[in-house]
Chain A
Amino acid sequence: MFTYILYGLAGTGLAISFFKDRAKTKAALKKAWMSFENILPQFLSILIIIGLSLSMLSPQTITNILGTSSGIWGMLAASLIGSITLIPGFVAFPLAAALLKSGAGYMQIAAFVSTLMMVGIVTLPLEIKTFGKRAAAVRNIAAFIFSLCAAFVIGVVLS
């Protein structure tokens, strides 16, 4: 649904742009393609890494790690898994819901979801391209620490 809105925006934008200035529109499309081609090698690599890791680390394995363990260690394990793996939201949330049902606590789930979204170890090379090593490292470490704090608060509030 939201994807259609994005397509609508992009399509309308392109049409208006084309109507106003063809040369600029061509330049915009060229820029779009070049930015995409610039990240394409990493993008393809990331997809293969996700495919390989998810085929070995099945939802069942993740459930075994997080479902039985609880407390701080479960939360730490959850946040490490979340930081390293890169699972799209449409897979991650049903997985998180299944984990909750099979006995994981809110704290572990929050740590998993939060690090999954904010911390990206696999995507670091891409982040470094834009922000350089130092900023990328600081942002990821800060996001990791924040995720632990947020998970702790959620664990206390929702239990």
Chain B
Amino acid sequence: MKDILKRYRLFLSLVAINASVGLAFPEIGLKSLSITKNNLIEMMSVIPPIFILLGLLDVWVDRATMIKYTGKGSGLKGVLIAFLLGSASAGPLYAAFPVAGVMLKKGSSLFNVFIFIGAWSTTKIPMLTFEAANLGLSFTLTRLALSIIGIVLIAFTTEKSLNKQQQADIYELNR
């Protein structure tokens, strides 16, 4: 019980802040409540299948397979698989971190996991169609072309910024 209180203390204090803002400025309070409710419904509708797939991935794909396809030395094929996995996703970026954790646990290379995160953040297919509908095809395609370069550059920079020990620590975090 005490443990739960400790883990949720940030959330509980935010609820308290929101409540006091609502008491002081009812209009803002009601508006924030309705935005939070809408977002909660939206997120809860996307999140269950992601976590079920994550669970299935964890149980059915063994380490050797994951290393073979996305581990160190999986080459261009590994990068492409990580990229497609990320692009075929849905949902907010923070849902990608637990999935990345499972990939690390199973032995994916850090570079490929960062490619996966990059793809999840910017080249999600449903997102791209929505972007094109709102901002036009030339904007979306120019941004997509740049993003693909950017995802690789960001993954490369992040991986290279870590020494051997720091890389091992990240794998340790997800054991």
Contact = CB atoms under 8 A, between A and B. Distances in A.
B49 A93 contact: no
Contacts, number: 229
Contacts of A73: none
A153 B143 CA distance: 9
Interface stretch (A34-42, A62-70, A76-84): A34-42
A97 B174 CA distance: 40
Contact of A139 (B40, B139, B158): B158
Given A42-B94, A51-B18, A139-B114, A24 B60 contact: yes
A39 B122 contact: no
B65 interface: no
A28 B36 contact: no
Contacts of B133: 93
Q: Is the interface of A mostly helix, strand, loop or mixed?
A: helix
Interface of A: 1-3, 6-7, 9-11, 13-14, 17, 24-25, 27-33, 35-36, 38-39, 41-52, 54-56, 86, 88-90, 93-94, 96-97, 100, 106, 109-110, 113-114, 117-118, 120, 123, 126-127, 129-132, 134-135, 138-139, 142-143, 146-147, 149-150, 153-154, 157-158
Interface of B: 7-8, 10-11, 14-15, 17-18, 21, 28-29, 31-33, 35-36, 39-40, 42-43, 45-56, 58-60, 90, 92-95, 97-98, 100-102, 104, 110, 114, 117-118, 121-122, 125-127, 130-131, 133-135, 138-139, 142-143, 146-147, 150, 153-154, 157-158, 161-162, 166, 169-170, 173-174
